[in-house]
Amino acid sequence: MTDRRGRIAASLDSVHETLRMARREVAGVEADTTRWRWVSVGMVIALQGALVAALSGYETAEDADVVDPSSPERYAPVTLLLRRARSTDYLNAPERVEMTGSALHQIERLIAYRNAVVHGLGAGDAEGLAKGCGKVLGIVRHLVLSHPAFDASPHHLVCTLISDEIAGIERLLADRC
């Protein structure tokens, strides 16, 4: 693992790049619904990046807060990172993620769709994925823009680019959510 500040910077770059890809793919789903596959991949990676940045933000943050317990050279699965970001053991208010059970279900559906795509199990029905994407965008906005647990001042440019990508994707998804 890299140092905490380096991990935050790399995670924010990942959020920006994967949201950029997701935005491009969302723009094309009307003509080609198979593009939901790439949308799901981008959205889940963006969520993971935002969660890693947030969970690395406090001065007291440790590598163990973001690593996979069974494979310490990798980041933890998104579901585990999300559980940690919702826990008072890792983040304080207002940085902590608050969400309804319905929102969590929509995100879990998006993650399951992405996992099926990545593991070659067939993507299945993309119906309702836009709602999960909207929930992911809300969490990314919360963790990176509204209430970052890290000092955002060195990351002003990438945070602005992330904000632009979120707004663009939300416009494209407006009729689907």
Q: Which of 176, 177, 169, 175 is nearest to 43 (CA)?
A: 169
Residue 126 CB contacts under 8 Å (≥ 6 apart), including other chains: 29, 33, 36, 113
Contact, 51 vs 18, CB < 8 A?
no
**Averaged over 120-136, what is the pLDDT?**
82
- Predicted TM-score (pTM) of the model is 0.94
CA 61 – CA 77 distance, rounded (Å): 18
Band of the pLDDT at 128, cuts 50, 70, 90?
confident
- For residues 122-150, average pLDDT: 90
- Asked if 140 and 52 count as a contact pair (C-beta separation under 8 A), the reply is no
Residue 124 has pLDDT above 90, yes or no: no
pLDDT digits (tens, 9 = 90+) for 84-104: 999 999 999 999 999 999 999
